[in-house]
Amino acid sequence: MADTNYPSANEPQKTTTVRTTPNNNVKNIVIGVLAAGLLGTWAYFLKTKNESDTKIATTQTQANQAMSTRDSVQILYNDALTRLDTLTGNNNNLEGQISQSQGEIAKLRSEIDRIVKNRNASQSELRRARGLIATLNGKIANLEAEVARLNGENQELASNNEQLTQERSVLQANLQTTTSEKEELAKTVDVASTFSASNIAIKPIDERRNGKEKETTTARRVNKLVISFDVENRVARSGPADLYVIVTNPDGQVINDPNLGSGTLTTRTEGDRPFTFKSSIDYEQGTRKPVSVPLRQENFKTGDYKIEVYQNGFKIAEGIRSLKKGGIFG
């Protein structure tokens, strides 16, 4: 059998005993301490990190909450300002009311502005801002109520004005109608007050120095024409009335003599006409009054004398009288 270091199957095995030396024990202890320290350090770091993360998360949450609160306050404030601007911009009638509360509103806005513009505003300050905004909204609500009241009054006034305008238009129309009717009535009365003349007569007279008169148709002997007629009217009021006499000589010329008071008459239908003389009478309403108006003149001509009488712009009487050339014994 060959030599070998391995035991044979038939040989009994020997038990080997390992002995631990003191150096190995110290080394194991150091390693254990270091491991424990390392684990403790990691545990500390992990705990510190967790605490830091928690603080950061809490701070971030608080910051987010603070930001959200401030933003909500800002939104509330912006809404209040929008209401105020809209209210005052569309209602000039509120200028007086706003002027009265302008100091209070300005004070509120100043305090609210200071808080909402402060990014580091505390929760108590933001709560105060909310309260101030509520106060501002209360004042705005009062102004809105005032606007509603004023608008109601304005609508009522507008309605009343419209009604008054309509009534005024009706009154003006009635007044115009009444005025027109009155003017028409006045014209009718005026025209109706014109005298009517009757029984017109024209007498050529030879008026002698001793006062005696003799009717004659011889032109060279006539020195007076007496025009007579009757006038009456049931509408004309009692009082003085003017009669205008136009005498046209045989040459076709209206006798115009300043000594007789000749002038120009405006007629209703013929325009202006020259008249020979004017005579005034005193008339009594509803009566018939005889009128006699003389025309004195030297040297009456042979031919036809046309006599026209006007009153109130209308011709009321007309007649012709012929004068003849006298004979040897005329």
270-280 tens-digit pLDDT:
999 999 999 99
- Least Cα distance to 218 among 301, 124, 313 occurs for 301
The tokens describing 3, both together, are 């030599």
Domain ranges, ordered by start, for the chain: 25-192, 196-323
Better pLDDT: 30 or 121: 121
Residue 282 exposure: Cα atoms within 13 Å on the Cβ side = 0
Residue 68 has pLDDT above 80, yes or no: no
Question: What pLDDT sits at residue 44?
Answer: 65
Which band of pLDDT confidence, cut at 50, 70 and 90, is reported for residue 66?
low
Better pLDDT: 36 or 281: 281
The tokens describing 121, both together, are 């505003």
- C-alpha 292 chain-centroid distance: 66
Looking at the chain, the whole-number percentage of residues with pLDDT higher than 90 is 34
Question: What pLDDT sits at residue 139?
Answer: 79
Pairing, β 303-311 against β 288-296: unpaired
- In the chain, the amino acid numbered 189 is V
CB atoms within 10 A of CB 228: 15
Is domain 196-323 in CATH 2.40.10.10, yes or no? no
Torsion of CA 258, 260, 263, 266, to 10 degrees: 180
| Mean pLDDT of all residues in 250-255 | 95
C-alpha–C-alpha distance, residues 82 and 312, integer Å: 79
C-alpha–C-alpha distance, residues 330 and 328, integer Å: 6
